Chain A
Amino acid sequence: MREGVTEMSQRIHTIHTVSLWICIVIGIIVFGAMAYTIYAHRRSKHPEPADFHEHLGVEIIWTIIPVLILAGLAVPAAKTLIDIEDNSNASMTVLITGSQWKWHYQYLDADIDYYSNLATPTTQINSCLIDLFCDLPDEQGIAKPLRESNENYLLEVDKPLVLPANRKVRFLMTSNDVIHSWWVPDFAVKQDALPGFINEAWANVPEPGTYRGQCTELCGKDHAYMPVVVDVRPEAEFDQWVEDQRIAKELASGQAVADREKTWSLAELMEIGEGVYSTHCATCHQPNGEGQGTTYPALDGSEIATGPIPVHIDRVMNGKEATEMQAWAPQLSDRDLAAVVTYERNAWGNTTQDVVQPRTIFENR
């Protein structure tokens, strides 16, 4: 187990090492006794069995000694636990929301929030050899070498959580759908993200660096594909980053205004839409739009993708309750939403020739 970079993770590592050694020593003693007796008291060497079958004194001793050992383990463990659960006096708070299958980070002390998606492309992941149970072929035959040269395979995201070093950061975890769990091994922070409830944890990371973890509660199909990446920066750099985000947000909103004032062509939207589709939609609805069974419906020829536009827009923006079809309105810009709806209506066998403008999306917010 790694020692990690925080005081808490290192104290946990010590407890782990101590308990491991206690187990090893007890194991050596007990298994050693068994090995000895197997050797020395086999019938060929020891043909007359003894006839004792109880001894109160010995039994009391080997009941009491384990109790003492356990008490010795429990005390430092309890102390460490008390310190871990002390979430007070944090200098900043981040709200972490798990959903299928990405994390959302919101800085409560600054107006910053964004989604954090897996950045490893499916070209590195999909390498089905036979399609009996597996419909994700390696179409270009390049998955294995690409994957093997990617040291952060499955542990990389588009936008990591950025934190300052040397400040106590409080984490609030919750979920939008099912139970997820946010874990950074280097911080020894793991808390389940429950829908409808918030959990707390904290970390104070002294060393800048990039720290990687994963979702640790089965949350559906892509449970293996929602990593946690934390980019810890020196305090001054972090403060600069916060400022940069503020500026970027202003720029983006300017960009968003420009996007919705423009009238886009079908070709422009199709190109953008295809990119959005393959990043966000293809994992369930498949690159060829054929979906998987009834759980992930086909879009090629579907009623929604070829029927009334408002229904299609509503489904993409607001999701479908009690299914894995999530609301994309908070996650994608007007332009991207308009593009992906346009794409779905004109790709594969769909030929509606419909064009959805970003301003239509904006009006539906």
Chain B
Amino acid sequence: MPAKIKRLGFKPVQRMNRTTDNKIYRNAGLLGVLAIGMFGFAFGLVPLYEVFCEVTGINGKTAETAAKMVETTVDSGREVKVQFLGRVGNGMPWEFRPSTHEFDVTVGQANVTEFYARNRSAHTVIGQAVPSVSPGLAAEHLKKVECFCFVQQTLEAGEETYMPVKFYVSEDLPSDVQTITLSYTMFKVSQQEPTSSNEPHVSLVSTI
């Protein structure tokens, strides 16, 4: 039987002559809380990532709401080339392309361009355009005042349309960026049976 048990900072009593069961369960409980907290942290990383990207402007995602048009006071004359790309996601039966591939814009001035879309299928299809900007750091400087990507777009079977984007490049664009590429991918959100009963009925089972 050991003569003296050196104190470790907490009262060694009962079980195994060194510590209490309570102490053990409390430690374990705290660590369990830590583990659960880290599980929540993983989910928390999702909004954290969004915020981080917004604040630092990386990731190439543009804002999801309209920017206000800011009148420039100084006409720096700085020109930047803006390129436009349009593509469809897998299984999206639309034709989708920019009306113009690229043009030069003056920093601070408003510009308008259009994207053409046509629903090739025999159904009503709802699409959502998701933008991506390269270089990623230019994304926060490409301010969209009006954009078809803010809302879902619905096209009936065979319908075609021109969708506008009104934007300006803000003056705080880093000086080493000379070309900005704005790419939209039009994804299918859903499709419905055609509204007109004269359309040939082809049922497509679209499973995800």
Residues of chain A touching chain B, judged by Cβ–Cβ distance below 8 Å, are: 86-90, 93, 95, 97, 108-109, 170, 172, 174, 176-177, 195-200, 308, 310-311, 314, 318-322, 326-327, 364-365
Contact = CB atoms under 8 A, between A and B. Distances in A.
Given A200-B134, A326-B90, A108 B101 contact: yes
B12 interface: no
Given A86-B176, A364-B120, A97 B87 contact: yes
B179 A176 contact: no
B90 A176 contact: yes
B60 A197 contact: yes
A303 to B, nearest CB: 11
A196 B185 contact: yes
Interface string B170-190: 000000111101010101100
Contacts of A88: 176-179
B134 A199 contact: yes
Contacts, number: 83
A319 B90 contact: yes
A258 to B, nearest CB: 23
- Residue in B90, B93, B101, B102 with the greatest tally of chain A CB atoms within 10 Å: B90
Interface string B67-87: 000000000000000010101
B91 A174 contact: no
B207 to A, nearest CB: 7
Contact of B179 (A90, A310, A318): A90
Given A97-B87, A198-B60, A200-B135, A172 B181 contact: yes
Given A198-B132, A321-B188, A326-B90, 7 more contacts: A93-B83, A172-B134, A174-B87, A198-B60, A311-B202, A321-B207, A365-B120
Contacts of A90: 179
B200 interface: yes
B55 interface: no
B135 A196 contact: no
B56 interface: no
A94 B208 CA distance: 32
A199 B202 CA distance: 38
Interface of B: 60, 83, 85, 87, 89-91, 93, 95, 101-102, 120-121, 130, 132-135, 176-179, 181, 183, 185, 187-188, 200, 202, 204, 206-208
A318 B207 contact: no
A135 B56 CA distance: 51
Contacts of B183: 172, 174, 198
A327 B60 CA distance: 27
A152 to B, nearest CB: 30
Given A86-B176, A88-B177, A311-B202, A198 B208 contact: no
Contact of A322 (B87, B93, B132, B207): B207
A198 B120 contact: no
Contacts of B208: 321-322
Given A170-B179, A198-B60, A314 B204 contact: yes
A314 B135 CA distance: 37
29 contacts: A87-B179, A88-B176, A89-B178, A93-B83, A108-B85, A108-B101, A108-B102, A109-B101, A172-B85, A172-B181, A172-B183, A174-B87, A174-B183, A174-B185, A176-B89, A196-B89, A197-B132, A198-B85, A198-B133, A200-B135, A308-B202, A311-B202, A314-B204, A318-B93, A321-B90, A321-B91, A321-B207, A322-B207, A327-B91
Q: Top 4 nearest A-B pairs by Cβ distance?
A: A321-B91, A197-B132, A198-B134, A200-B134
Contacts of A322: 90-91, 207-208
A325 to B, nearest CB: 9
- Residue in B83, B102, B177, B188 with the greatest tally of chain A CB atoms within 10 Å: B83
A321 B90 CA distance: 6
Contacts of B101: 108-109
A95 B202 contact: no
Nearest to A313: B202
A286 to B, nearest CB: 22
A200 B58 CA distance: 13
Contact of B130 (A86, A176, A196): A196
Contacts of A86: 176
A93 B185 contact: no
Contacts of B179: 87-88, 90, 93, 170
A197 B200 CA distance: 36
B148 to A, nearest CB: 17
A172 B130 CA distance: 17
A310 B91 contact: no
B206 A321 contact: yes
Contacts of A108: 83, 85, 101-102
Contact of A327 (B90, B102, B176, B178): B90
